[in-house]
Amino acid sequence: MNEYRNLIGGRLAPAADGRTLDSVNPATGEVWARIPASGKADADAAVAAAREAFPMWSGMPALGRARFLRQVAEVFTRHAEELARLETTDNGRILRDTLKKDLPGMTYLWQIAAGQVLDAVKGDTVILGPDSLGLTRREPYGVALCIIPWNSPISTFSAKAAYALAAGNTVIVKPAEQASASVLRLGELLAEVFPPGVLNIVSGLGEDVGDPLVRHRGVNKVSLTGSTQTGQAITRASADALKPLTFELGGKSPNIVFADADLDAAARGVTVDSVFTGNAGQVCVAGSRILIQRPVWDEMIGRITAIASHVTLGDPLDMATTMGPIVSAGQYERVTSYLEIAEKEGAGLVFGGRTGAEVVPSLPGGYWVAPTLFTASDNSLRICQEEIFGPVAVAIPFDTDDEALAISNDSSYGLAAGVWTRDLARAHRFVRDLQSGTVWVNTFRQMPPGLPFGGIKDSGYGHDAVLEYTREKAAIIQT
């Protein structure tokens, strides 16, 4: 049985009271590892360590911090296969994605963050008069708490911690209890890179360790990637201290296919690049509402069905597998409940709907849901409005551009959207008028470092980038 430990003040340690949580392999349903079930004492220790390290880390020349970040990139390169296999075992995201996409991308991200350290210390100068000078300077907040989800732990860890550290903050990472092993193992490796207390990692349940961290007066900034409900709870918990927050929350992204689109590209973009493969639709930006213009409705449904029929479910560690399991028993129950909801609401089932052992008989204990597509003519259905977070999509027909916009924006979420069209004027209009933080045109799920990523409405606010982890101070100097 694999045993993992917290990283606090440069030391690897179990939870203060010795409690642990089981980590379950979602492909088999079996316990494969144990992680610390941390509590308030561990939260207090992590904050104390981060605060003690802050003067040294923030006072270091920016290029000095960059050298540490480049060392992290080297760790990712050296340990890519180990970390990828750990994450795949822990959350079911297929190895061909964790190994071939995630880890190389994170190596690059840490290098990019190292190159942006000077952006965090740049300011502006304003000549106020012949004897008066105004200037601004950027300063780190102090201790940044980064709360990360279970669907892509290492990627989200990197997107937050790299920029927070580049800006001069010390960092505490709270991984999701469903999938903490890869991040805790990464903590073991990074304990050899950072000075004690600069990076701390504590695992456990949200109510036991997450809430004490959010409420702690020694935490100066909170960044969350997670559900809208968690974001609301953190907002309430942090209100007394008025902590600055960055939230990347849920989504119900529209993926809009116009009749003039490249239908081959669009069919792939709304299926394997969006909701049916890789992480089994367990991604916040999944284009789970597929809007199709009526003249190509039948053709697109046929193309989507054909592509979905070639999705290969199975052992996520097998490089031939193209879709893995649902992460946990609880999430499996949530996803399968929406199959029943869709049926009761009168949605049409095009394909899928199969669950459990009938999907992957060779792994009967896993949490399996086949790629599933429903059709609906009414965007008010729950499967059109609520985030399912699984390989379940709904196709909705439309006639005009205005109708497509109205359906797309008829959502409490506003994280991302896709538009498939050859009409440049239409593309620019939809980029302008879609209520979402990111719009992809003739592509989907491209999130390169250097561009902001975040949402509006119930999908959150702010984005993980170096300036998000700094505050601006103004000074006026009379000469």
The terminus-to-terminus CA distance of the chain in angstroms comes to: 68
CB 4 within 8 A of CB 22: no
Question: In terms of DSSP H, where are the helices of 119-193?
Answer: 153-166, 181-190
Alpha carbon distance 418, 275 (integer Å): 12
CA dihedral 208, 209, 211, 213 (to 10 degrees): 160
74 is catalytic: no
Place of tokens 């050298």: 67
Specify the DSSP class assigned to residue 347: P
AA identity, residue 393: A
In degrees and rounded to multiples of 5, residue 355 shows phi and psi of: -140, 165
CB 203 within 8 A of CB 177: yes
In degrees, rounded to 5, the angle at the alpha carbon of residue 157 between the alpha carbons of residues 154 and 158 is 85
Closest CA to 178 of 435, 360, 389, 394: 389
- Burial code (b: 16+ CB inside 10 Å, e: under 16) for 211-237 equals bbbbbbebbbbbbbbbbbebbebbeeb
Q: Which of 82, 87, 207, 248 is catalytic?
A: 248
Catalytic residues: 248
